[in-house]
Amino acid sequence: MLNEKKIVLVTGASRGIGQAIARRFAKEGYAVVMHYHTGRLQAEQTAAELQAQGACVLLQQADIRDSQQVQTMIETVQRQWGNIDILVNNAGIGQQKLFTDITDTEWRNMFAVHVDGTFYCSRAVLPAMISRKAGCIINISSMWGQIGGSCEVHYSAAKGAIQGMTKALAKEVGPSGIRVNCVAPGVIRTEMNRLLDEETWAALKEETPLECVGNAADIANMVYFLATEEASFITGQVIGVNGGIVI
């Protein structure tokens, strides 16, 4: 039963950081909407696990590059559960490629997933948040959006755009009681980084002042904190969770 549970929508929740965020909010008693695009099996398995633990979980499939699919998803959640209290724009893709080899399609797709998706989802939930004068949006960026990554120019540019969007939107909707923040993960062991060999992981650890890499739970913990009343005076910020590799 939903009762008075707050509702959180996590995009890209079928694996990695998104899955960890969904788990954390479910553990804290939130009603969790898990969005996925193609990872249906993983999303269903995670949802079933959380439901078995007593959590309220609703699965929603959508291609966030498509504004109409996003709008339909938000309207479905509102019809079935009610208004979304917290939006976590996490869905993303990665690619390593020389800048001169990036195709038009790859460039546009990188921005469509990260920037357009964040825009469409935020735009869809904001009218109800503004009406209620309450709500929280948390965007997931990357340290590469702060410092740039070689052979990841399109990824870095898209993640940097999310940081700019966060700061500007926070100023616009702050008077309506809505907070907008951004988490910029450092080196995190996730499925997206599965192709990195152990030699690369060792080098990354050495570059990080804490001499270790992070895990998805580290990001989930920060996202959860930003959604709580304990972070009620924090908005428009890009917060690095990176072991000190970017300061």
Active site positions, annotated: 155
Give the span between the Cα atoms of 20 and 4, in whole angstroms. Answer: 23
Burial of 71 (0-12, 13-18, 19+ CB in 10 A): middle
Q: What's the chain's Rg over C-alpha atoms?
A: 17
Q: Locate tokens 């926070």: which residue?
A: 170
Alpha-carbon distance 206 to 149, whole Å? Answer: 17
| Contact criterion met (CB below 8 Å) for 169 and 128 | no
Contacts of 22 (CB under 8 A, 6+ apart): 10, 13, 32, 34, 46, 50, 57
Tokens, residue 77: 């959640």
